[in-house]
Structure 1
């Protein structure tokens, strides 16, 4: 082999090795994980992170310097400006403050000093990008800043995180749409309701006789698949109590948990659906047997 070729190959190998060893972060379109230790000697470094999914997570180990996090849907459109970004910090998230940054101005969103891991923080997509700044400290060991995120419509956010919207009874039209478009739709009975004042939520234990659909496996089969069991959450202020009889439970999945939407008694849903079907107004086909 010619000496010049040998030298060129050696340089190429060295460049590839350097590129691999200098790789600071692991990322895909939805989630990002990195470590501040990779640029510890440059404490004021600012790294750019781009995520292109409707939901995912970020985990920053040993945070130093800062991150600018750009969250966008995979397909950009004019409707993007009507999206809302919601983040839910991990339980033990520490080591950084999270701001909204727009035109060089910072607005505190999540403080390291007053974390609330059960709170969901939401903002409009046109309010800026996330600026995550590590808090100065001598010992950064055991510090991890992280959160889950979701991009959802502003209308959905108002229904999810506004107590009055979550608690009010659904209209007939809303019931029909919920049965067709919800992340989960099940027919079942309430086995029990527990209330958690610290988390400000009620948890409904549901025994399901008919599983129409579920986005995630929140309802697990029992009795050889004859029935399913699962938990649905709703704000404590709604004052949910155990009721007799069968219900049609609908709702949405957010941050891995099932949130209650419309939940009419099944006999009432049957009546609503049959009336709509007789007029050709049912938005989808669903068995009411």
Structure 2
């Protein structure tokens, strides 16, 4: 409680002398505490997208993050979820021998507070005893602000606070692949998900693991045919899809046009992927082949739709025959 009171006094009592620093006005923000001349400075950062990331190297002082996602005029209130990154994520696609190959988790060097009426509400602290990397809060009167307070410096070693955020309206009036629930997808939703997902792949689920830190079930899928996998920073796709002898893999651009390059993967080193489902859905690995469609959320693939391959093949046949598909459907 004393820490919260002191921090509130620090932020609001010294507003007139707080440093502005570099302001963000975009989806992502990256900065360094070394550019601050005071450990009591507050840097305002304006995040005007529905999702993005914040990277703060050598954190000093504090950041004040103001979330202003683009929303329809009649959808004023929204929910923000923040995922602190305590260790680098594994690649989206990986060989069987590298399942969950990640570095050891590091202590997160900042504390997070949600701005409420005349007070700050703790959201995350490295020693709060809560293992969850994902923390969420709601806007108030169409506004949401998050204070990021650096922990005291410990020598000159490099420290970096990285987290991803996502802001979504509280009221959904149409199908949104990014926030799909546990129910099966309709045919219209399947088609939309195929055309817009970051990952589209045929595969077999070979394992399931409860991820308490993310409040999800992590499904491990063995890829049988890769249709689309959009790249992101740090994803070394070349290591995964090396030319070899068995098993064809076809890669597509995000607009669903064939690149014209055929890749193969050795049968003894099958390509796998992790796909996350909300823990409340009770998902588990099952027999049979599926057409898996997932969207990258907060750094990891989140499942949107996964029909059995027989159901999908029939839908593709009908949609391609009547010419009503929004994009070129494949199976």
TM-score, length-scaled by structure 1: 0.69
Equivalent of 1:183 in 161, 176, 198: 198
Equivalent of 2:146 in 126, 130, 136: 130
Consecutive unaligned residues in structure 1, runs of 5 or more: 1-21
Residue matched to 1:3: none
Q: State whether residues 93 and 145 of structure 1, in contact with CA within 8 Å, keep that contact through their aligned partners in structure 2.
A: yes
Q: State whether residues 221 and 229 of structure 1, in contact with CA within 8 Å, keep that contact through their aligned partners in structure 2.
A: no
253 and 94 in structure 1: CA distance in 2 versus 1, 3 angstrom threshold = same
Cα distance in 1, alignment partners of residues 191 and 227 from structure 2: 14
Rg: which structure is higher? 1
The CA deviation at 1:265 is 0.8
Cα distance in 2, alignment partners of residues 240 and 246 from structure 1: 15
What per-residue deviation string (whole Å, max 9, x for no partner) do you get for residues 188-234 of structure 1? 223x1132363443332223233222223677325633254322122
The CA deviation at 1:283 is 2.4
RCO higher in 1 or 2 (8 Å CA, sep ≥ 6)?
Answer: 2
Equivalent of 1:56 in 28, 53, 56: 53
Which structure dedicates a bigger proportion of its chain to helix?
Answer: 1
Residue 271 of structure 1: SS of its match in structure 2? helix
259 and 52 in structure 1: CA distance in 2 versus 1, 3 angstrom threshold = same
For the pair 1:69 / 2:65, whether they are aligned, the reply is yes
The CA deviation at 1:249 is 0.3
The CA deviation at 1:61 is 3.2
Cα distance in 1, alignment partners of residues 153 and 219 from structure 2: 40
Cα distance in 1, alignment partners of residues 168 and 45 from structure 2: 20
Consecutive unaligned residues in structure 2, runs of 5 or more: 1-18, 87-106, 245-262, 266-270
The CA deviation at 1:134 is 5.2
Residue 138 of structure 2: SS of its match in structure 1? strand
For the pair 1:141 / 2:154, whether they are aligned, the reply is yes
Q: State whether residues 71 and 169 of structure 2, in contact with CA within 8 Å, keep that contact through their aligned partners in structure 1.
A: no
145 and 236 in structure 1: CA distance in 2 versus 1, 3 angstrom threshold = same
- Count of residue pairs brought into register by the alignment: 254
Residue matched to 1:249: 292
For the pair 1:267 / 2:310, whether they are aligned, the reply is yes
What per-residue deviation string (whole Å, max 9, x for no partner) do you get for residues 100-129 of structure 1? 35xx64452613253545214253492332
Cα distance in 1, alignment partners of residues 121 and 295 from structure 2: 29
Residue matched to 1:282: 325
1:101-250 alignment, distance < 5 Å: 105-108=118-121, 110-112=123-125, 113-114=127-128, 116-124=131-139, 126-133=142-149, 139-141=152-154, 145-152=161-168, 155=172, 166-190=181-205, 192-196=206-210, 198-199=212-213, 200-216=215-231, 220-221=240-241, 224=244, 225-227=263-265, 228-250=271-293
97 and 86 in structure 1: CA distance in 2 versus 1, 3 angstrom threshold = closer
122 and 271 in structure 1: CA distance in 2 versus 1, 3 angstrom threshold = farther
Q: State whether residues 195 and 236 of structure 1, in contact with CA within 8 Å, keep that contact through their aligned partners in structure 2.
A: no
The CA deviation at 1:263 is 0.3
Q: Bigger CA drift: 112-121 or 240-249?
A: 112-121
Cα distance in 1, alignment partners of residues 273 and 197 from structure 2: 16
